[in-house]
Amino acid sequence: MNGLRILRIGPVASVQDMGRPGLLGQGISQGGAADTLALAEGAALLRQDPGLATLEMGGMGGEFEATGPLRIAFTGAPMAAALEGTALAWNASHQMEAGQRLTIGAARAGVYGYLHLGGGIATEPVLGARSVHLMAGLGRAAEAGDLLPAGPDNSDETGLVLAAEERFNGGELRIVESFQSPLFPEAVRTRFAATAFSRGSRANRMGVEMVSDGAGFAADGQLNILSEVILPGDVQMTGDGKPFVLLRECQTTGGYPRIGTVLPCDLPKVAQAQAGASLRFRWISLEEGLEIQAAFGKSLKGLPAACCPLVRDPAAVRDLLSYQLISGAVSADADPFAKGEST
């Protein structure tokens, strides 16, 4: 079976896809890739469905060996990648042959890098998805010795590159009001948007801590709030008023007050923010949020057309002689600009 054998792997790596929607009633949050934009980018580079599973690597990659010929692509947090010692471009697709070894180092920016296979990673689905959901006890982290089997690959196109959307250094997070927003006084909500935050040290696939100077952000009567449904993007306040932005593996219900909800298209900025990265919130209306999300969805559909051929240095191409470098021949004596002189 074609795929990648894991020889060495970082401590926070797992197979991820778009997750399991519709299971909140059973106590299982959607889960899935922390950076869903990276899934769409990888699918565009490999000309395949963005719902296929990939390997998510948190902070550190690993070493892999191909069990057969296959196409690969890298997206998300840029990491140093090399095939048989030759550096490979990130946010690009490449070809591997049986027995070749791929090494991926630490993240140069951001947190989560993604390794995609042509045909996706075809591990056994559980409850309709291949995503590992550690908080729900579904699957486990990737380990040395595991085989990442490739599914049927319906394309052979490779050597493409895609300009990545900048989301690895924090930035602005657009937030809309939710059911509990009115519990926070207007002055508190205004101060929240005016506050400069940084990504704290407490972060995982459930959520990310937001750290700031000054007092916390408290809701009126917050000790009397009943537990309600939680969704990724909700900004939940702890007892001391410290905000956490909840991510894909967040709990399904909670009683801490929530000041608002970050747009789904901005969550990759939260997931990819390294410790200390600067983040800021900006209130927008629900109508604006819906328009922004619709535009984001449209941009995802345009990613395949945005891919370009990867330009490589001929000196670094190991199999240069296997390429058709000359498409014709001309006479040494003929005028190359004269009509009909080419042969």
CATH code where residue 235 lies: 2.40.100.10
Residue 126 and residue 238 share a domain: no
Tens-level pLDDT at each residue, the chain (343 residues): 799 999 999 999 999 999 999 888 888 989 999 999 999 999 999 999 999 999 999 999 999 999 999 999 999 999 999 999 999 999 999 999 999 999 999 999 999 999 999 999 999 999 999 999 988 899 999 999 999 999 999 999 999 999 988 899 999 999 999 989 999 999 999 999 999 999 999 999 999 999 999 889 988 876 667 778 889 999 999 888 899 999 999 988 877 899 999 999 999 999 999 999 999 999 999 999 999 999 999 999 999 999 999 986 555 555 555 444 555 555 556 665 555 544 4
Same domain, residue pair 138 and 94: yes
pLDDT in tens, 93-149: 999 999 999 999 999 999 999 999 999 999 999 999 999 998 889 999 999 999 999
pLDDT score for 322? 42
pTM of the model: 0.89
Q: Is 250 contained in some domain?
A: yes
- In a domain, residue 338? The reply is no
Residues 7 and 152 in one domain: yes
Residues 265 and 206 in one domain: yes
* Residue 311 is assigned to a structural domain of this protein: yes
Q: What is the pLDDT of residue 339?
A: 54
Q: Is the CB of residue 200 less than 8 Å from the CB of residue 228?
A: no
Does 205 share its domain with 121? no
Query: How long, in residues, is the chain?
Result: 343
Same structural domain, 154 and 245: no
Beta bridge partners of 148: 4
Q: Map tokens 């009943």 to a residue.
A: 226
In a domain, 339, yes or no: no
Residues 134 and 213 in one domain: no
Same structural domain for residues 46 and 141?
Answer: yes
How many independent structural domains does the chain possess?
A: 2
Q: What is the pLDDT of residue 218?
A: 86
- In a domain, residue 93? The reply is yes
> Do 156 and 177 lie in a common domain?
no
Does 149 fall in a domain? yes
Range of the structural domain that residue 310 is part of: 3-163+302-321
In a domain, 142, yes or no: yes
Per-residue pLDDT at 313: 54
The answer to whether residues 8 and 134 belong to one domain is: yes
Mark whether 155 and 187 lie in a shared domain: no
Q: Is 166 left (phi over 0), alpha (psi -120 to 50) or beta?
A: beta
Q: Do 7 and 115 reside in the same domain of the chain?
A: yes
**Residue 292 maps to a domain:** no
Please write the tens of the pLDDT for every residue from 188-224. Answer: 999 999 999 999 999 999 999 999 998 899 888 766 6
